[in-house]
Amino acid sequence: MTSTPTAPAPLLPAPQDGGCPFSPPSVYTDAARTGTVTRATLLDGSSCWLVTGYQEVRTVLSDRRFSADARRPEFPFFVPGRREIAVANPNFLRLDDPEHARLRRMVTGDFLVKRVEAMRPEIQQIVDDAIDRMTASGSTADLVTRYALPVPSLVICLLLGVPYEDRQLFQDLSRVLISSTATTPEVSRAQQELLDYLGGLAAQKRHRPGNDILSRLVARDDLSLREIASTGLLLLVAGHETTANMIALSTLLLLRHPEQAARLADPAAVPGAVEELLRHLTIIHTGLPRLAVEDVELGGTPIRAGDGVVAMLSTANRDEELFGPPGTRPVDELDLDRDARRHLAFGFGVHQCLGQPLARAELQIALETLFRRLPTLRLAGTGAGSSAGTESSAGTGTGTHADTTPAFRTESLISGLRELPVTW
Ligand code: HEM
């Protein structure tokens, strides 16, 4: 990247630094206090811009002068060495229009609000079955493996036409793909294995089509098998890891705020509650990388073509003016009655999350049903440390929870939990 920083710039991605694991690391909040656009350094030693302001983040994500094409030589990466993977097998998440739009269009129809609303009974059934299975085998369980992960995994498998019996394979490979500690050869191998798997499935569907996305994609004559496999990979990985982590983290947070969890008993409050959980947790904790392809002025700061930029969703989602007007709790706190609809947890602009109607439906149904059907749900084991349900900071959301919940996925580019032992 170009400009030389004038002062020691913080390193991105920043580790959680002992504060509340639900809040952004202090590196980001400190930067946000300094200005909406500040300098930072990536792990490979290159400089980039850390964009923390709400309006500025929206500009980066919606202005064509910022590219999402990870094949460009100067594109910023959170993990050194990942460029070759993006170059070898691009998917539309990291391409610009018109390539991005051409591929995204092929699957837009499957994620429209209307289509997803029609799936609600099926999602409800999947959720109820998961709870039935969990309760049939005792009164304690790891909520991650028994509920948070199976629900979105099953849903995306149904949609894509991927056999759920193969979940161990694609869940393990997905974990490697979103890990910040896996080596480049490991990620490259995992990506190839998943592409081969999805390419094989798609080829079978050419002869025996089903009512699913992969079958619809292979029936087209304007897509290569490689493009179909890459799109399938993006949907499969994005479609279960994110929502699974949101279900697990939201459950943990709600168990720590029982007075707020009670709001889920009112069906009218559930959609708003989910928006606030999305805002508060902002699980894409590293922010979103982009590359300036023209000179731009952003928040009064000149940015040069060739500069890397990181749009920090978590600080944007704590914009005081937007999310903390008089009468609401401070933006660092969870407030399920807050109007959080303008949050950026799903990104913004042309790459805004394609699966957001599905993610919303899954989260609303999974959380409402869990707290309704298991009213005595509480933390068990390590997560149930004395501070888990009663910590003095429960109302502030800024306390030090890390010691009582050792299962945070610190190695992942997406916030999540390795396990969540619960009892009911
Ligand atoms: C709570 C769960 C989810 C969160 C927080 C989330 C977040 C995001 C974010 C922030 C982006 C923008 C990335 C960027 O601009 O660089 C994105 C893109 C995307 N998401 Fe999600 N996502 C979630 C669930 C899902 C689900 C269930 C699917 C279903 C398949 C999905 C599919 C996608 C796809 C395909 C893209 C790429 C869109 C594009 O580049 O045009 N996501 N997601």
Q: For the segment 214-228, what is each residue's pLDDT rounded down to a tens digit?
A: 999 999 999 999 999
Q: Is the CB of 232 under 6 A from ligand 1?
A: no
Give residue 306's pLDDT: 98
Cis peptide before 98 (omega within 30 of 0): yes
- Is residue 309 in contact with ligand 1, taking CB distance under 6 Å? no
> Which residues of the chain register pLDDT less than 70?
1-7, 18-19, 382-406
Q: Sort strands 288-292 and 66-67 into parallel, antiparallel or unpaired.
A: antiparallel
Would you say the CB of residue 242 lies under 6 angstroms from ligand 1?
A: yes
For residue 393, report the distance from its CA to the centre of ligand 1, in Å.
31
The pLDDT of residue 21 is 78
Q: Which two tokens stand for residue 403?
A: 């010691």
Q: Is the peptide bond before 13 cis (omega within 30 degrees of 0)?
A: yes
CB atoms within 10 A of CB 16: 17
Q: Of 112, 125, 169, which is closest to residue 151 (Cα–Cα)?
A: 125
How far is CA 98 from its chain centroid? 25
Say yes or no: domain 88-283+330-423 is CATH 1.10.630.10.
yes
Q: Which of 353, 358, 414, 415 to mutate to test the pocket of ligand 1 (most atoms within 8 A of CB)?
A: 353
What spacing in Å lies between the alpha carbon of 365 and ligand 1's midpoint?
19
Q: What tokens appear for 212 in the block?
A: 């699913």
Q: Is the CB of 104 under 6 A from ligand 1?
A: yes
CA 155 to ligand 1 center in whole angstroms: 15
Whole-number Å distance, alpha carbon 93 to ligand 1 midpoint, is 8
So what's the pLDDT on residue 403? 38
Ligand 1, atom 17, residue with closest C-alpha: 353
Alpha helices per DSSP H over 36-183: 54-62, 83-88, 99-108, 113-118, 120-136, 143, 150-160, 167-177
Q: 160 in ligand 1 pocket by Cβ < 6 Å?
A: no
Tell me which residue of 366, 322, 353 sits closest to 127, measured CA to CA: 366
Radius of gyration of the chain from its Cα atoms, rounded to whole angstroms: 21
CA angle 121, 158, 103 (to 5 degrees): 115
As a whole number of angstroms, the distance between CA 304 and CA 132 comes to 56
pLDDT at 390: 31
Quote the pLDDT of residue 382. 56
Using a 6 Å cutoff on CB, does residue 234 contact ligand 1?
A: yes
- Tally Cβ neighbours within 10 Å of residue 246: 26
- 282 within ligand 1 shell (Cβ under 6 A): no
Query: 310 CB less than 6 Å from ligand 1?
Result: no
Q: How many CB atoms lie within 10 A of CB 329?
A: 16
Domain ranges for the chain:
88-283+330-423
**Do residues 253 and 179 lie in contact, with contact meaning Cβ atoms separated by under 8 Å?**
no
Residue 277 Cβ < 6 Å to ligand 1: no
- Give yes or no for a contact between 227 and 155, defined as CB atoms under 8 angstroms apart: no
**Closest residue to atom 6 of ligand 1, CA basis:** 346
Most distant CA atoms of the chain, gap in Å: 61
How many residues would you count in the chain?
424
Residues in CB range of 363: below 8 A, 6 or more apart: 243, 246, 247, 250, 274, 277, 278
Distance CA 110, CA 2 (A): 41
